[in-house]
Structure 1
Amino acid sequence: MTIMTSLGRTIGPLRRLHDNRNDLAVALLSAEERVRNLEALVEAARGTPFFAYFASFDALACMRRHEVQDRKPTPGFQTNWLGVLVDPKIFSFLADQGGKLEQFPLPANWHADIAEWASALHAVELSRPDSFTMIELGCGWGCWMNNMGVAAKRTGRKVHVIGIEGDEGHVEFAREALARNGFTSDEYTLHRGIAAASDGTALFPRQEHPGHSWGSAPVFNATQAQQDQAVASGSHDLLPMISLEAAIAGRDRIDLLHIDIQGGEADLIEACLPMLNEKLAYLLIGTHSKHIEGRLYDILSPTDWVIEMERPAFYQVNNRKPELAVDGVQAWRNPRFIPM
């Protein structure tokens, strides 16, 4: 049985040589002196999809370069592994994390796994040496804006982070988090609206308490009667669709575009591909199905984009039917901006 587990470059060659589970375990253990805590990594890999990534760069080494070692607790907030302050009010399960330090995410933390963290930080390292600009679609509380902006600042880069979010309460969470983590008003742009390929309007579900739902999806192409009924009932807000062109706002380069828009990723990329070819250096996508993953290969590969990280979506079988259990991650490099 092949073990679809990647533990980085050191273990990768061993995996290719050994398709048998027992043989691979023996080979891994024989490398114990070369890789610190290797047994712990192997044990952690059992039963989790989060080590099942395939990367063209050393993902764990990239993350270790950005880990902040001298963190101090801040009362009322969780301090994550990159030194970013997180308000526990955004998620109920963080209620007891005020004043605590988060551990290095191996293989994942409450927000993301190795594949996503490493790819985003890889984009920071591949950006221009003096500046870093990114866009986060469906930014929520501004996780990637805050984390990558802070990481880029720590390298001495000048930053500008841009977010698009439909939920009014989440936009306020993002604004608070950016201010708390040292971003001045000229270092970020927040749009309340729906990320889209073109301008227009769409319905977005309204929630009474911000933070209760993080997977809301917009409703496009509603009739005027449907729009009027939804707004009148208070179930939805009618929001502007904000195109990528508007978000880029004339900039000549975006170093990272992070997309997690609940299943609309491939449609958006396909519609905006010519502009992405001309403006975007690195693309990090949260995928929500095998179909989306396949479409992204079909869309991006023929136009010379290079995939650098692939951690597939995982399904579980329930009553003989596949159900999505873990979203996937893909990261793509544009060689027009970042030569191989």
Structure 2
Amino acid sequence: MKNPLWHYHAAFDADALIRRHEVASRVSNPGMITNFLDVKVDPKIYPSLLDSLAGAVEGVPIPQNWHADMAEWAAALRAVELSRDQFTMIELGCGWGCWMNATGTAARNMGRSVRVIGVEGDPGHIGYAVEALQRNGFAEWEWTLHHGIAAPQGGTALFPTQEGGQWGLEPLFHCDIAQRSDAVATGRYQELPMISLVDLVAEDRRIDLLHVDIQGGEADLIAASIGILERSVAYLVIGTHSRQIEGRLFDTLLNAGWILEMERPAILVLDGQSSPVVHIDGLQGWKNPRLFETVSTEVS
């Protein structure tokens, strides 16, 4: 059966775009995985999956690599190609900083100056991101990491404490003071600040890419932040965690005039007995035409 990750829809040639960014001169790095952009990844971030790949030099992720499918790679690199001399991106739910490192490196390879910003709730993953950015040659002034939870507005939320290398942990919102206190007392949660896009984006800053992967909160975040998105964000890449979320994003962004350039729906598992289960998250890539109207030339 054909790999389902080939089944995306794009307004551009995703295969050719990815291949344009392959660094032919990359070499093996002992103990590390070197991807097609020449980004070095430490297998310790996911040892059960990556230990066997230590020292490997990966090919292009067509239709996928261990981390993402070609739809997501192509959408993120599309934002890099549409950027100008300065490439600025924000990764919400950044984990070890995959998209900060990947798109920042691709932009640097194209001669752009770079500014990458990440938000992450897990302190261990923040540590991985710092190590990855340093390993891949980013200067301290080129990156900022926030230990918190991306949300439509400021405040306080609860984030699960780590229990042995977990990924995709979901925060808890809308808890009152007593509920937060009780949850923290169990040792299973920590209180973290909620960080809004208004807090992250200066009014005069153009964000070339906003990458959103926040475990189910993406539709609420986009709907609540549409004003700042319209003013400041040129391209959105969104990991989706249900078909319902995908439909809500369609409603919000199409009604606001955004252009859908990449789409691969979430892949479901059906057992005929229970509700559909998301097996692989979906992916959407959206272009904000307002921020390209004055540009005389751009990548088609």
Query: Which bracket does the TM-score occupy, shorter chain normalised?
Result: over 0.9
Aligned to 1:85: 40
Paired residue secondary structure (1:285): strand
Q: Distance in 1 between matches of 2:153 and 2:202?
A: 14
| CA shift digits 1:274-331 (9 cap, x unpaired) | 1100011000000111111111111011111000001111112114332211111100
Q: CA deviation at 1:81?
A: 1.1
Is 1:327–2:281 an aligned residue pair?
Answer: yes
Q: Distance in 2 between matches of 1:274 and 1:223?
A: 28
Q: Distance in 2 between matches of 1:320 and 1:203?
A: 33
Aligned to 1:28: none
Instruction: Find the structure with the greater CA-based Rg.
Output: 1
Is 1:223–2:164 an aligned residue pair?
Answer: no
Is 1:186–2:141 an aligned residue pair?
Answer: yes
Aligned to 1:278: 231
Distance 1:316 1:47, change over 3 A: farther
Aligned to 1:307: 260
Aligned to 1:242: 195
Structure 1 counterpart of 2:286, which letter?
W
Q: Distance in 1 between matches of 2:160 and 2:203?
A: 31
Stretches of structure 2 that go unaligned for 5 or more consecutive residues are 294-299
Paired residue secondary structure (1:96): helix
Aligned to 2:68: 112
Structure 1 counterpart of 2:281, which letter?
D
Aligned to 2:26: 71
Q: 2:124 aligns with which of 169, 172, 181?
A: 169
Q: Distance in 1 between matches of 2:77 and 2:147?
A: 26
Q: CA deviation at 1:159?
A: 0.4
Aligned to 2:78: 122
Aligned to 1:55: 10
Q: CA deviation at 1:246?
A: 1.1
Aligned to 1:25: none
Structure 2 counterpart of 1:228, which letter?
S
Aligned to 1:293: 246
Q: CA deviation at 1:227?
A: 1.1
Task: Work out whether residues 95 and 129 of structure 2, in 8 Å CA contact, stay in contact via their aligned partners in 1.
Answer: yes
Q: Distance in 2 between matches of 1:315 and 1:99?
A: 34
Q: Distance in 2 between matches of 1:310 and 1:99?
A: 33
Structure 1 counterpart of 2:290, which letter?
R
Q: Distance in 1 between matches of 2:213 and 2:51?
A: 25
Structure 2 counterpart of 1:52, which letter?
H
| CA shift digits 1:242-290 (9 cap, x unpaired) | 1111111344210000001011111100000011000110000001111
Aligned to 2:104: 149
Aligned to 2:296: none
Paired residue secondary structure (2:291): coil
| CA shift digits 1:13-60 (9 cap, x unpaired) | xxxxxxxxxxxxxxxxxxxxxxxxxxxxxxxxx332201111000001
Q: Distance in 2 between matches of 1:98 and 1:325?
A: 27
| CA shift digits 1:112-139 (9 cap, x unpaired) | 11100000000000011x1100000000
Structure 2 counterpart of 1:67, which letter?
E
Normalised TM-score (structure 2)? 0.95
Normalised TM-score (structure 1)? 0.84
Q: Distance in 1 between matches of 2:290 and 2:160?
A: 38
Q: Distance in 2 between matches of 1:76 and 1:298?
A: 45
Aligned to 2:54: 98
Stretches of structure 1 that go unaligned for 5 or more consecutive residues are 1-45
| CA shift digits 1:223-251 (9 cap, x unpaired) | 22221122222111100001111111344
Q: Sequence identity, in percent? A: 57
Q: Which deviates the most, 220-229 or 109-118?
A: 220-229
Structure 2 counterpart of 1:75, which letter?
P
| CA shift digits 1:191-218 (9 cap, x unpaired) | 0000011110000000144xx1111010
Structure 2 counterpart of 1:333, which letter?
K
Q: Distance in 2 between matches of 1:246 and 1:224?
A: 23
Moved over 4 A (4+): none
Structure 2 counterpart of 1:275, which letter?
I
The number of equivalent residue pairs is 292
Aligned to 2:214: 261
Q: Distance in 1 between matches of 2:94 and 2:209?
A: 13
Structure 2 counterpart of 1:276, which letter?
L
Paired residue secondary structure (1:74): coil
Is 1:139–2:69 an aligned residue pair?
Answer: no
